[in-house]
Amino acid sequence: MGHQAAKRIRNVALVGHRGSGKTSLNEALLYQAGMTTRLGSVVDGTTVSDSAPDEKARQMSIAASLSSFEWDERKVNLIDTPGEESFVADALSALRVCDAAVFVVNAVMGVEVNTERLWRRAAELGLARLVFVNVLDRERADFFRTLDSLKAAFGPHAVATEIPIGGEHEMRGLVDLIDMRAYAYEGDGRENCREIDIPEELVARAEEYREKLMDEVAEISDELMERYLEGEEISHAETVAALKSGVVEGRIFPVTCGVATRNLGVNRLLEAFVEDLPSPAKRGAVAAGDEAIEPTEDGELAALVFKTLADPYAGRINLFRVYRGVLASDSHVVNCRSGQRERVGHLLVPQGKQAEQAQELGPGDIGAVAKLKDTRAGDLLAASAEGGIELTLPELPSAVMAFAIEARTRGDEDKVFTALRRLQEEDPTIELRRDEQTGESIVAGLSQVHVEVMVERMRERFGAEVELRPPSVPYRETIRRGARAHARYKKQSGGRGQFGDCHIEIEPLEQGAGFEFVNRIKGGVIPTGFIPAVEKGVREAMDQGTVAGYPVKDVRVTLYDGSYHSVDSSEMAFKLAGSMAFKQAMESADPAILEPIMAVAVSVPEDCVGDVIGDLNARRGRPLGMEPKGTMTEIRAEVPMAEMLSYAPDLRSLTGGRGDYAIDFSAYEEVPAHTAEKVVAAAAGGQDALHA
């Protein structure tokens, strides 16, 4: 594999909101490319990419799946990503290692919450973007309404390159606005497409949207714009070249259309992969810290691991992208994080759960390798420890939904812990920690569904059965005004004593500022060597606040005076004095309890809007607005986390299973007085406030 190979590669991520049909499109692309003998279905669990039992049972993607195939003498590495927000880590990682993203949009729903979030991330990464408007054969599907929602969300450069022939159940083909040719589709076979005349009733509309496309294409260069404004004909070759240039540069976002489950429009989409989307060579250098990496064969190896699969039989399987150099089978590499040498055995080119072996993978290519000892997602593989560069995965969202977890059978604790660690390698958004206050093992994820799926995988893959207890809300404490305190720790019990004496002032900081320690000791009244001990004592006291024992945040502590004893003073004495002083000061600083507030976006049928808003109000929520999204209405609100812990089943009940929601941490806010009393009482009784 050489530099020439990078020109033949297309690395494409399929992304979008849950239910837009990404997995069905992935299946249709593989079928059309001759990689499968039949068109698999999400409904009957026969797709290549959703191969895990829980994916089949839930009829949704839970993990990213890589497939590779050849089309028109190009190698396409296609990553099908989950649309459920709980598993967003895989979508973000896929965007990091791909050169282009195909956004799959549901023609009934239009642009949804997760589509907007992923679009912003793709824009930050400078990726070429193309849109596939899917499920156009559904009732109330509307391509032109969806196109309007795309323009409203992503700007005027989202421009149709195709329009559908027919609508809803009458959807039967499409018009290519670049060639001004029409295509009819019959059946779902690979040869199901034939060219036809543009239907008479669509001629005027096709010309209208062709003109809108040419308006965008002409903007790619001043010369084209000048000729276009003067009425001069822009040739087909010039149009194609300008369109490709606009896509690569992120100035045009072609909007295509089809029906993945009927293999309608899929052949045209494959042509767009080859013609419009950039190869690694065309994309060029990728930023890596202060450097820029060119996809060259002769440079030193740099390969980023973006996904780890935890297989109970095969062990770890790592998916990676080669950014520079060549990775060969039966070779050695260095993990830049650990400095450890790893032996690379067989290189794999996955097709969903199956895989073929490869001798080597060159710059720009994506593949997999099994049985590396200590390598996981986010690690960089290089030829030597000195060859490491700053190449990282995107920052992932923090886990917000926490549960206490324990083994169902006594003696299985080690099995549970091992299973959790393996799954954490596969999904870094899972958090596992021990609560120092209660001694409980706490597992946290991005949602209730996220944690439920993890528990199912522990049981299915590793035979580890666990019990989950109601989640605890990560309350925090803070102060509302400044205060001063003086604490002296003095102990004399024969022989050398203990002496530490400090004066501190505490002040509230703005929300999210964290903790700040200021040293204003002058004249050596406390020796420099003891000042870190005071800070350590303050930090330890902050781990358990004075109101309900929750960690304290957003406080500045200033150490401004004190005294010491030349013989008896020690780090331990000053640490204890610092802790005592902070606790005293906090009691005088009008302390308060803070609770996490979540930004919630709920998509519900129009007839359920009133019930859902009423329910959000009952949860102390603040509705921020709503807007129609196809046949659904999206309600945005801010709601305390404590009120959202059981929301999933309640929303299902309110909407008959038709509602969906996305949730993100927004900010911490002060708990209302009547709720604060419950939180304090629950903390005193060792209960969760939710169940007090």
Residue 111: closest CA among 137, 92, 83: 83
Query: 214 — phi, psi (to 5°)?
Result: -65, -30
Judge whether residue 516 has pLDDT over 50: yes
pLDDT digits (tens, 9 = 90+) for 8-65: 999 999 999 988 999 999 999 999 998 888 887 776 667 776 566 666 667 777 778 8
pLDDT digits (tens, 9 = 90+) for 158-179: 999 999 999 888 999 999 999 9
pLDDT for res 448? 79
pLDDT digits (tens, 9 = 90+) for 453-468: 888 888 888 888 898 8
pLDDT for res 429? 86
Judge whether residue 402 has pLDDT over 80: no
- Averaged pLDDT, 243-271: 94
Dihedral over alpha carbons 82, 84, 86, 90 (to 10 degrees): 20
Pairing, β 181-185 against β 173-176: antiparallel
Judge whether residue 221 has pLDDT over 70: yes
Note whether 483 and 583 are within 8 A (CB).
no
Determine the length of the chain. 692
The rounded radius of gyration (Å) of the Cα atoms in the chain is: 29
For residue 169 the two structure tokens come to: 């159940």
Q: How far apart are CA 383 and CA 368, in angstroms?
A: 17
- Averaged pLDDT, 256-278: 94
pLDDT for res 690? 44
- Count of helices and strands (H, E) across the chain: 18, 36
Residue 32: closest CA among 166, 192, 246, 238: 192
> What are the structural domains, with CATH classification, of the chain?
3-283 (3.40.50.300), 290-387 (2.40.30.10), 401-472 (3.30.70.870), 477-589 (3.30.230.10), 594-691 (3.30.70.240)
Which residue would you say has higher pLDDT here, 286 or 487? 487
Residue 388's pLDDT band (cuts 50, 70, 90): low
- Averaged pLDDT, 286-297: 85
pLDDT for res 403? 83
pLDDT for res 52? 67
Q: If you average pLDDT over every residue of the chain, what do you get? A: 88
Judge whether residue 595 has pLDDT over 50: yes
Judge whether residue 504 has pLDDT over 90: yes
Q: Which residues of 522-546 are buried (b: 16+ CB within 10 A; e: fewer)?
A: eeeebeeebbebbbbbbbebbebbb
Cα-Cα-Cα-Cα dihedral sign, residues 13, 19, 25, 26 = positive
Note whether 384 and 358 are within 8 A (CB).
no
* Highest averaged pLDDT of the listed ranges 80-84, 413-417, 669-673: 669-673
DSSP, res 569: B
Strands in 125-270 per DSSP E: 128-134, 158-160, 162-165, 173-176, 181-185, 193-196, 253-257
β-sheet bridge partners, residue 67:
78, 351
Which of 30-34, 56-60, 563-567, 624-628 has the lowest average pLDDT?
56-60
Which of 144-158, 412-426, 537-551 has the lowest average pLDDT?
412-426
Residue 387's pLDDT band (cuts 50, 70, 90): low
Q: Which residues of 451-465 are buried (b: 16+ CB within 10 A; e: fewer)?
A: bbbbbbbbeebbebe
Note whether 592 and 606 are within 8 A (CB).
no
Residue 36: closest CA among 45, 46, 51, 44: 46
pLDDT for res 400? 65
Judge whether residue 278 has pLDDT over 90: yes
Place of tokens 């590396």: 372
Q: Phi-psi bin for 275: left (phi > 0), alpha (psi -120 to 50), beta? A: alpha
Judge whether residue 113 has pLDDT over 70: yes
pLDDT digits (tens, 9 = 90+) for 318-338: 999 999 999 999 999 999 888
Judge whether residue 89 has pLDDT over 70: yes
Which residue would you say has higher pLDDT here, 192 or 659? 192
Strands in 509-631 per DSSP E: 515-519, 555-563, 591-605, 622-629
pLDDT for res 3? 36
Which of 43-52, 539-548, 557-566, 576-585 has the lowest average pLDDT?
43-52
Judge whether residue 287 has pLDDT over 50: yes
- Averaged pLDDT, 245-262: 94
**Reduced to 3 DSSP states, what percent helix, strand and coil does the chain have, rounded to the nearest 5?**
30, 30, 35
Residues of the chain with pLDDT > 70: what percent? 94
Residue 692's pLDDT band (cuts 50, 70, 90): very low
Q: How far apart are CA 219 and CA 229, in angstroms?
A: 11
